[in-house]
Amino acid sequence: MSGRRSIVIFGPPGAGKGTQASRLIRDFGFEYIATGEILRQAIAGDTELGRRAKGYVETGSLVPDEVVIPIVEERMRATRGNRSFLLDGFPRTIPQAEMLFEAAKRVGAPVEKVVYLNTPDEVVLERLTQRRQCRLCGAVYNLVTMPPKESGKCDGCGGRIYQRDDDKEETVRTRLKVFEAQTRDVMQFYRDRGLVLEIDGALPVEQSYATIAESLGEVQ
């Protein structure tokens, strides 16, 4: 069995990071840190963090490093026990990648692998305009490929299904541009350290998942 570690799931918007993450959590029991989800909850709760992040998230720009980095640092520091970490949506900039590299070592869970879901823009656009999410538990659906059994209602918890504000086509295009301009460089940071597992993000969910799960080894 591997020791404590951090795994990053990386890729453009709509690559399927959250979808793969839900399976990894189920099978490996990771402590899950998804910065997009943390920010959306803060916005919904109208907290101070939410008010600082709102304008950026709604327009598809990156929330500044000085806002996002402390959230992740604090979560890693505060996590008790021996669980490994799964990071989704973080890092997105080189300063974030550098911070994670050091913080993960400090808490005894070094970054072991970066799963890169390489997914073309046209696939992403198609998926995100059809994506829906549960307001209560965050479960992700797709009206075409993974619809809920009952329209508008979450299969798992019965919560209401909604469309994310940043999933409108124009905002998705901005998010894709931001990925190209600001986030793609992070891949090189991890390639230089030999940590990248590249997966074709356009493959069916279970096919990608089988490769990812196998590469992470024994279920913990």
| Residues making contact with ligand AP5 (CB under 6 A) | 11, 13-19, 35-36, 39, 56-57, 60-63, 68, 89-90, 92, 96, 127-128, 130-131, 140-142, 145-146, 166, 175, 203-205, 208
CB of 36 to ligand AP5, least distance (A): 2
Active site residue 127: no
Q: Collect all residues with Cβ–Cβ distance below 8 Å to 77 and sequence separation of at least 6.
A: 103, 107
Spot the catalytic one: 4, 52, 83, 164.
Answer: 164
Return the residue nearest ligand AP5 (CB atom).
36
Q: Do residues 172 and 60 make contact, with C-beta atoms less than 8 angstroms apart?
A: yes
Q: Do residues 40 and 151 make contact, with C-beta atoms less than 8 angstroms apart?
A: no
Q: Collect all residues with Cβ–Cβ distance below 8 Å to 205 and sequence separation of at least 6.
A: 16, 19, 20, 23, 146
Cα–Cα dist 101/96, whole Å: 9
Nearest residue (CB) to ligand AP5, 36 versus 111: 36
Spot the catalytic one: 17, 75, 113, 132.
Answer: 17
Cα–Cα dist 7/217, whole Å: 12
Active site residue 17: yes
Spot the catalytic one: 5, 75, 132, 175.
Answer: 175
Active site residue 23: no
Name the residues annotated as catalytic. Answer: 17, 92, 131, 164, 175
